[in-house]
Structure 1
Amino acid sequence: MKQNRLFDILDDEVMHGGNRTQLQGVAEIAKQCLRLSGEERPTMREVVVELDYLRGRGVGKNSWVKENYDKESVHLLVESSLDS
């Protein structure tokens, strides 16, 4: 990511399975999740909202919805993601 070589290291099947914007977004989320300090890592709620946004469900990164997801909504999102 630091050297901007994400697309050089991704498998061809992965490259053909999603668009570049989605792949870049998922890589950025993964990078955030790998931060050493737990306080700097995103919560599962934030990860779910970001992934939902990347999948095109209309939940924007800076939307008020991001701040107001309740536990049931997150559970349903995670459950539906696992079913996909």
Structure 2
Amino acid sequence: MGERGQVTLPKELREDFGISGGDELEFRVEGDKIVIKKPVSREDLAEGYRARAERDREIAEEFEGASREADDYLGDVPELE
């Protein structure tokens, strides 16, 4: 650590975590440790939501197909109230 409290992250860590000069980092204390974390960007967050929505669509289609197969196999069954 330098006199002004600045810390240099090793190059390997910067590369592994996609951190470059000027990036914002989050600092927090967990017990007796200082945790440094790269915040999630809006783009990363949006991509996560898109991927989740796509998985949900695929599951819904799978259930729909299974329901049709069950209807074909079982025939008409009374509706539950």
Q: TM-score range by the shorter chain?
A: under 0.3
- Of Structure 1 and Structure 2, the greater strand share is in 2
Indicate the structure with greater helix content: 1
Instruction: State the structure with bigger RCO (CA 8 A, min sep 6), 1 or 2.
Output: 1
TM-score under structure 2 normalisation? 0.25
